[in-house]
Amino acid sequence: MGSTIVIMLAVAVVLLAVVAIVALAVVIRRTNGGSLRRGPSPEELADINAELEQARREGMEIRVKAESDAGEMVRKAEAAAEDALRMRKEVEDEARTLKGELKELRSDLERREHRLAEREERLDEEARRQAERGRSLTEAETELTGRQAELDRFEDQRREALERVAGLTSDQAKAELVMTIENQAKREAALIVREIESDARREGEKRATKIVTLAVQRVATEQTAESVVSVLHLPGDEMKGRIIGREGRNIRAFESTTGVNLIIDDTPEAVLLSCFDPVRRETARLTLEKLVLDGRIHPQRIEEAYERSKEEVKGLCVRAGEDALVELGITDMHPELIMLLGQLRYRTSYGQNVLKHLVESAHIAGIMASELRLDPMMLKRCTVLHDIGKALTHEVEGSHALIGAEIARRYGEDEDVVHAIEAHHNEVEVRTVEAVLTQAADAISGSRPGARRESLEAYVKRLERLEEIAQSYDGVEKVFAMQAGREIRVMVKPEAIDDIQAQVIARDVAKQVEEELTYPGQIRITVVRESRATEFAR
């Protein structure tokens, strides 16, 4: 940096010298040129002096400027020198730092190379051991293969010897063994199933008997005493003539107006009214009763009395339905359902009044629901409406259960109530507990002593059919229908039927009876298998 400053000062001095020489040359030339011609005039001397002065000033300015530029360059050179020294120091410090890091990296690399070398040695050693182990395993496998082949030969020889001794091939022996095990498993499974079913049946019957007994004991109702024929007593036999009228005019008008057949026979002081519709029959009875009390009997009077009687019967139906619901504690029901419920007052089923049957069933269902911790009001509602379709059976096609379900759905009853109605005769698969209890309450009310009466002919035919169903199975020796058709006693041949088959026969007979016959309550099927061993001591 110092040599650069000296060079710059030398250049400035050279420039000053050049300027002085040039100015001196100009003066000499002018002087020499004038001396050849003539001496310089004062003006020329003044001009020369002015030019010299001008050249001296310019030289001084150039010198000052050169010195200033030189000073500036010196300052810049010193600053550059300081920057260069600082940069050199930084570079040297960084070089020392990098050298240290490089040294550490080199030592770290040497350590890693050493560890890698040791690991390679261990891997080589492990590879040698694995190779030795693989050779050992190969030898062992070869030896085991030879032994397995030898064992297979021994096994084939042993199987052939056993087949010769037993007289069966291995496949035949295997099939016989599988068959034996399968039969044994089936028998054991049947025994387990029978035991489980027996325990479950005993426990279920015990609990069901308790609940049903409590329900029946708490319900007190009348026995069947109503007749399906309406009889009207007359104050005298002369009233029969007035009812018939001149040439039968009154009786024809009565029958055409009411739609009920009026039977007048030799029964003293009584006439019979016959009609398939009990509501219409009751309306006709009230009409005839009013006519007899009034004494005036003619077609116009018959029509007037019939209209009044029809309104009276309608009111009686509504009153009967309301009374039934009040007795059960049900207050919110559609008026049309109340009307249909009241009409069942004039219907009977096997001699049992349908409305009373519904009320009785509802009480039983409510008691069972309370025992089972269910909602008694829901069960009462399901049960009191389960035969509501019987009020329209003669007017609408279909089963009374499905008709009643459609009526209940139309008038806004809950879906559980609708399902209990449509499923109480198993025409729809039972899905809820309410439907099961509705079936149970219906069966209890219909099968209790004194609830219904059945014709002798239908009773005998049902007993005969029960015995025919049980007698149709193979191995059955004798069949007895006992306890008024509530139990079937089936005697089977012990040499043809075992205990398991006896259980199967009992189940099949029960299923066929359920499918073919209609009966109140339940029927017990008992299969008896008796074995006797007799010996004589001589």
Q: Which amino acid is at 42?
A: P
Residue 435 is assigned to a structural domain of this protein: yes
List, for residues 99-124, the tens digit of each pLDDT value: 888 889 989 899 999 899 999 999 98
Indicate the pLDDT class of residue 146, thresholds 50, 70 and 90: confident
**pLDDT at 129 exceeding the cut of 80:** yes
Q: How far apart are CA 527 and CA 525, in angstroms?
A: 7
For residue 467, give the CATH number of its domain. 3.30.300.20
The 3-state secondary structure of 330-372 reads CCCCCHHHHHHHHHHHHCEECCEEHHHHHHHHHHHHHHHHHHC
User: Is residue 255 domain-shared with residue 378, that is, in the same domain?
Assistant: yes
User: Is residue 375 domain-shared with residue 435, that is, in the same domain?
Assistant: yes
Q: How far apart are CA 307 and CA 289, in angstroms?
A: 13
Q: Which amino acid is at 108?
A: D
**Which of residues 90, 106, 122 is at a domain's end?**
106
Residue 278 is assigned to a structural domain of this protein: yes
Handedness of CA 219, 223, 226, 227 (dihedral sign): positive
Handedness of CA 332, 334, 339, 342 (dihedral sign): negative
Note the pLDDT of residue 226: 42
**Who wins on pLDDT, 52 or 89?**
89
Note the pLDDT of residue 23: 61
Neighbours of 367 (CB within 10 A): 22
Note the pLDDT of residue 37: 44
What domain range is 84 assigned to? 1-106
The mean per-residue pLDDT over the stretch 241-250 comes to: 83
Q: How far apart are CA 252 and CA 427, in angstroms?
A: 43
* Cβ neighbours for 229, distance < 8 A, ≥ 6 positions apart: 272, 273, 274
Q: Which amino acid is at 330?
A: I
Residue 379 is assigned to a structural domain of this protein: yes
The mean per-residue pLDDT over the stretch 121-130 comes to: 89
Q: Tokens representing 315? A: 């009111």
Closest CA to 240 of 268, 274, 261, 199: 268
Helix 249-258 vs helix 299-328: crossing angle, to nearest 10: 40
Q: How far apart are CA 291 and CA 407, in angstroms?
A: 37
Percent of the chain with pLDDT over 90: 4
Residue 499 is assigned to a structural domain of this protein: yes
Note the pLDDT of residue 415: 92
**Which of residues 74, 106, 138 is at a domain's end?**
106
User: Is residue 339 domain-shared with residue 409, that is, in the same domain?
Assistant: yes
List, for residues 377-431, the tens digit of each pLDDT value: 999 999 999 888 888 755 567 778 888 899 999 998 999 999 999 988 888 888 8
The mean per-residue pLDDT over the stretch 91-97 comes to: 88
Indicate the pLDDT class of residue 25, thresholds 50, 70 and 90: low
User: Is residue 387 domain-shared with residue 517, that is, in the same domain?
Assistant: no
Note the pLDDT of residue 49: 79
User: Is residue 367 domain-shared with residue 471, that is, in the same domain?
Assistant: no
In order of 7, 414, 510, 513, the CA distances from 516 in angstroms are 139, 32, 10, 5
User: Is residue 342 domain-shared with residue 485, that is, in the same domain?
Assistant: no
Neighbours of 105 (CB within 10 A): 11
List, for residues 169-218, the tens digit of each pLDDT value: 767 777 777 888 887 887 788 888 888 888 887 777 667 666 655 555 44
**Who wins on pLDDT, 145 or 33?**
145
**Which of residues 428, 447, 466 is at a domain's end?**
447
User: Is residue 400 domain-shared with residue 487, that is, in the same domain?
Assistant: no
For 350: left if phi > 0, alpha if psi spans -120 to 50, otherwise beta; the answer is left
List, for residues 261-271, the tens digit of each pLDDT value: 888 877 787 88
Residue 396 is assigned to a structural domain of this protein: yes
Indicate the pLDDT class of residue 20, thresholds 50, 70 and 90: low
User: Is residue 515 domain-shared with residue 429, that is, in the same domain?
Assistant: no
The mean per-residue pLDDT over the stretch 29-39 comes to: 50
User: Is residue 249 domain-shared with residue 364, that is, in the same domain?
Assistant: yes
**Who wins on pLDDT, 233 or 128?**
128
Indicate the pLDDT class of residue 317, thresholds 50, 70 and 90: confident
User: Is residue 263 domain-shared with residue 367, that is, in the same domain?
Assistant: yes
User: Is residue 370 domain-shared with residue 269, that is, in the same domain?
Assistant: yes
* Cβ neighbours for 363, distance < 8 A, ≥ 6 positions apart: 215, 218, 219, 328, 380
Note the pLDDT of residue 187: 78
Q: Tokens representing 167? A: 């007289």
Residue 213 is assigned to a structural domain of this protein: no
Indicate the pLDDT class of residue 29, thresholds 50, 70 and 90: low
Note the pLDDT of residue 32: 52
Q: Which amino acid is at 52?
A: L
Residue 124 is assigned to a structural domain of this protein: no
Note the pLDDT of residue 419: 92
Is residue 223 a contact partner of residue 229, using CB atoms and an 8 Å limit? no
CA neighbours within 13 Å on the CB side: how many for 281?
21
Is residue 35 a contact partner of residue 25, using CB atoms and an 8 Å limit? no
For residue 382, give the CATH number of its domain. 1.10.3210
The mean per-residue pLDDT over the stretch 305-327 comes to: 88
How many domains is the chain built from? 3
List, for residues 337-367, the tens digit of each pLDDT value: 988 888 888 777 766 788 888 888 898 888 8
Is residue 230 a contact partner of residue 285, using CB atoms and an 8 Å limit? yes
Q: How high does pLDDT run on average in the chain?
A: 80
Is residue 83 a contact partner of residue 62, using CB atoms and an 8 Å limit? no
Residue 296 is assigned to a structural domain of this protein: yes
User: Is residue 364 domain-shared with residue 252, that is, in the same domain?
Assistant: yes
- φ/ψ of residue 489, rounded to 5: -105, 115
* Cβ neighbours for 74, distance < 8 A, ≥ 6 positions apart: 5
Closest CA to 473 of 449, 497, 454: 497
Sequential DSSP letters for 66-92: HHHHHHHHHHHHHHHHHHHHHHHHHHH
List, for residues 429-473, the tens digit of each pLDDT value: 888 888 888 888 888 887 665 556 555 567 677 888 888 898 899
Strand pairing report for 348-349 and 352-353: antiparallel
